[in-house]
Homo-oligomer: A and B are copies of this chain.
Amino acid sequence: MKDARKIKDLLYEQVARIGKVFSSPKRLELIELLCQGEKTVETLAREASISVKLTSSHLRELRMAQLVETERQGKNILYRLANRSVADLWVQMHTLAEDRLVELQLALQKIATRPDDLIASDRDSLIKAARKGEVVVLDVRPSEEYLNAHLPFARSIPLEELRQRLSELPKDRSVVAYCRGPYCLMAADAVALLKDEGFTAFHLREGVAEWAISK
Contact = CB atoms under 8 A, between A and B. Distances in A.
Given A20-B23, A25-B9, A100-B66, A14 B83 contact: no
A129 interface: no
A22 interface: yes
Contacts of A49: 5
For A13, A18, A26, the residue with the greatest tally of chain B CB atoms inside 10 Å of its CB is A18
B85 A95 contact: yes
Interface in A106-148: 107-108, 110-111
8 contacts: A10-B107, A15-B104, A17-B101, A18-B96, A83-B96, A83-B99, A85-B99, A86-B96
Interface of A: 4-5, 7-26, 28-29, 49, 65-67, 82-83, 85-86, 88-89, 92-97, 99-101, 103-104, 107-108, 110-111, 182-183, 185
Give the interface centre of A23, A86, A183 by most chain B CB atoms within 10 Å.
A23
Nearest to A48: B8
B18 A93 contact: yes
Chief secondary structure at chain A's binding surface: helix
A92 B85 contact: yes
A30 B122 CA distance: 37
B89 A18 contact: no
Given A18-B100, A89-B96, A8 B29 contact: yes
A85 B100 CA distance: 10
Contacts of A20: 19, 23
A185 B25 CA distance: 35
A107 B21 CA distance: 21
A65 B23 CA distance: 13
Given A18-B93, A20-B23, 19 more contacts: A7-B107, A7-B185, A10-B107, A11-B107, A12-B26, A12-B29, A14-B97, A14-B104, A14-B107, A16-B28, A18-B96, A18-B97, A19-B23, A65-B100, A67-B100, A82-B100, A83-B100, A86-B96, A89-B92
Contacts of A18: 22, 93, 96-97, 100-101
